[in-house]
Structure 1
Amino acid sequence: MTDSSLLSSELELQQQEELYQQLLLQTMGKLQAEAPESKVIRPQPGMCVKTFSEADKEKVFINICHSSSVPPPPELSREELTALLQSEDPSGYRVPMSLGEPHPEVDNNSQACTAYDVVVNQDFFHKCQKDPLFLQFLILVSAEGLENKYSLELSRDWKVLKNRKFLGSVSEQNIRTKSRPVIQELQTQNNSTCTAKRPDFTLFVEPRGGQMEYLTAEIKLPGVASSHALVLDVGEDQLVLSARPMLYHLDIFHPFLIDQEQSEAQFNKHTQILTVTMPVLSSA
């Protein structure tokens, strides 16, 4: 005979799982609406880094600015930073920053160039100025952030300009005032550090021809048994996903403006694939 209570319990769990999937993004959207996470600021010039794009060898200047309105990153000692830089994936440590749009400028030789503005926390910037290792790390994460957002490939042969803190003119920026969820490092009993892997994923637009309406992300998450292990945040031009405990971490930018509140996510427990469907408002 079949135990009806077991069937009822299993059905209830399935319904809860489906409900969780439906609310995975909607809840985040409501929280963002109730507690705005951005405001307009005028950052302070910090330093100007000169490099060039690998594709066309064009000069690129990175204006690294600072503001007390940008959230600080998690505390990091010099020893931890050294270990992080030696790891295979130092992107697990996230530095909150605002990445401005590219703007055309002219260098000291009256040559055309491109400048990007990056804004980080004020205290973190001053900490990096006092330590060459932290300073190199700040430049590295700034360059990688621009590369990810704007599909660039920047030379690592960069130079910090001594007599210039900013190329162009300082403009206002709309920045996040709250940092995204940070993946915590877990220590095993033998004190080895667990690291999250970057999952395989595919991005494609729908319909395939004509005016695009949706950007869809298919993310493969082998080993994830339930959507309850997932934390997903969809921004206007960014997607951040983590799978607990320290199993996967994905943080990508894309060249589209997304309707965050109308985005949906579904996790297939059999294929272990998360599908995120995001309505496209316009190209960034």
Structure 2
Amino acid sequence: MVTGASSGIGLETARALAARGAVVGMVCRSAPRGEAAMRSIRDGLPQARLRLFLADLSSQRDVRRVAAEVEARLPELGVLVNNAGLVSRDLRTGEDGIELQFATNYLAVYLLSSLLTGTLARNAPARIVNVASGVHGRARMDWDDLAAPRSYNAFQAYARSKFAVIAHTAALGRRLAGTGVTVNAVEPGLTRTALLDDAGVGAFRLVRRFLRFAPTADEAARHCVRLACDPELASVTGAYFRRAKQATAAEATRAPETQARLERLSVELTGSTRPSTQERNP
């Protein structure tokens, strides 16, 4: 299953996995864009086995609903690629009252992984791949200002959300040890996608100048597919990859106290317990 699969890296990851013969669940925000994405894959792969799931991942209600739908329609789920993400120039909140970038880029990753870990464990060996970003190293974590910031900086909001993804990945990798489920984060690098269309402010203005020199989405997607499929990475977990190579994330993401604090905040904001390999009660 690939989130944010209607365009960019998500679409190209779904395309590449379908080409390998996988049944691919594509989580998209709108039906028209999702259906267009499936058509674009089937244009070159008429036999592609695709399933469309609709969800606004900034909404915890939608995350819970789509997780239940995946359990019903993709009971043999073996790979979850948490790719969906956004950049918001202005401060916006979702239906849960949480800043949109933190809600979509991180909390959806935390909650969806929590809800689907049991399914993945039943189908082990299985993998979770979380799409990260190198800007996490520039995040200034104000723990009391993440969900409902008093002041807003689009770049910092994005960097904080990706910092959280990487810290969560490391902690979850340890927690799932022995279950047959691995989890790793990958920084695909600056990519020519529409992600920064709404981000012509601050540090993002400088980043956008280099987009025309950046790799295409299909090139970046190869790194996600490698983490999802490469047999050589079957036992690697809790790691951070910079494109094709395992790398060292910012030191703060690896601190146990940071990971514990993030876990407490995540539970508080989602009302969810930590990811479990046990089946949920009906």
Common topology (TM > 0.5): no
Q: Is the helix fraction higher in 1 or 2?
A: 2
With normalisation by structure 2, the TM-score equals 0.26
With normalisation by structure 1, the TM-score equals 0.26
